[in-house]
Amino acid sequence: MKLGIETAGSGDALVFLHGWALNSRVWDGIAPVLMRDFTVVRIDLPGHGASPWPPEFADLTSLAAVLAPALPEHCTLVGWSLGGVAAMALALTLRERIGRLVLVGSTPRFLRSEDWPHGLAGPVVERFAALLEADYEATVREFLGLQVKDDEHARSTLRELRMKLVAGGAPRLEALRAGLSVLRNADLRERLPQLAVPTLVMAGENDRMTPPGAARALAAAIPGARLELLARAGHAPFLSHAGEFCRILGEFLGRAARATGS
């Protein structure tokens, strides 16, 4: 299957995976900065943006299997939200190809439970599932609104998310169903200690989609992971706090490169 992929820049490969309902256009603001030092590869998830819909995408394992052939032989993988869950799954199965991992607004488990207080409440997720079937566009609008809640730049960030959704193209309903299934069912907590690559976990202090507690727990469970919480940022810090995001990312990549000899 040929996914929608955009590649630009030069240097080591830096691969970006976006979140649920969005597309690779969300990285437009930071890509030009990173292209100075890296080959920036932006991939549309199956059924999102320019990528076609494969009926074999039904869960996290099949999502990772669809994405795997699109990755360069050696890369740093940056995943946001749902893309972060996919990035973790890929890093667990393609260890020889992923040299560094950056997880943004991500979590090993989206759904709250008795032993995981850092997720979305079950009724919230079920409401999204029901609304998705009744009113596709309203679901996406509400989801985008939740992503910017309590961000100090909420209005401009929401406007940017809406613009990128239009610019990259609306996702397929089937893809949204499959992605929501991943968000409801994926649980990578027990496998996190097996992530044997330098990892940066970044999250907004005011994130209401994946609370800071999830980022802290995620970083604590991955051996040697570095945690960065961006003050007053919500779920999309690369949009609302782009300068700080790029500074932290560049610093991590420089340190990781020296540490690994790449």
Domain boundaries, the chain: 5-260
pLDDT of the residue at 54: 80
The answer on pLDDT for 89 being more than 90 is: yes
Catalytic residue among 48, 118, 153, 235: 235
On the question of pLDDT at 141 being above 60, the answer is: yes
End-to-end CA distance of the chain: 30
As a whole number of angstroms, the distance between CA 104 and CA 18 comes to 10
pLDDT at 136: 79
| Contact between 144 and 23 (Cβ < 8 Å) | no
CATH H superfamily, domain 5-260: Alpha/Beta hydrolase fold, catalytic domain (3.40.50.1820)
CA separation for the pair 13, 68 (Å, rounded): 15
State the Cα–Cα distance between residues 213 and 216, nearest whole angstrom. 5
Catalytic residue among 24, 48, 51, 81: 81
pTM: 0.94
Read off the pLDDT of residues 183-192 as tens digits, 9 standing for 90 and up. 999 999 999 9
User: Within the chain, how many helices (H) and strands (E) appear?
Assistant: 10, 7
Catalytic residue among 18, 106, 151, 207: 207
Q: Is the pLDDT of residue 260 over 50?
A: no
**Helix axis angle, 154-168 relative to 136-148, nearest 10°?**
140
Provide the mean pLDDT of the chain. 92
Confidence of residue 241 (pLDDT cuts 50, 70, 90): very high
The pLDDT assigned to 258 comes to 46
More confident of the two residues 254 and 219: 219
Q: What is the pLDDT of residue 256?
A: 54
Give yes or no: 235 in active site.
Answer: yes
The pLDDT value given to residue 213: 97
DSSP H helical ranges for 28-121: 31-34, 60-67, 82-93
Report whether pLDDT(261) > 50. Answer: no
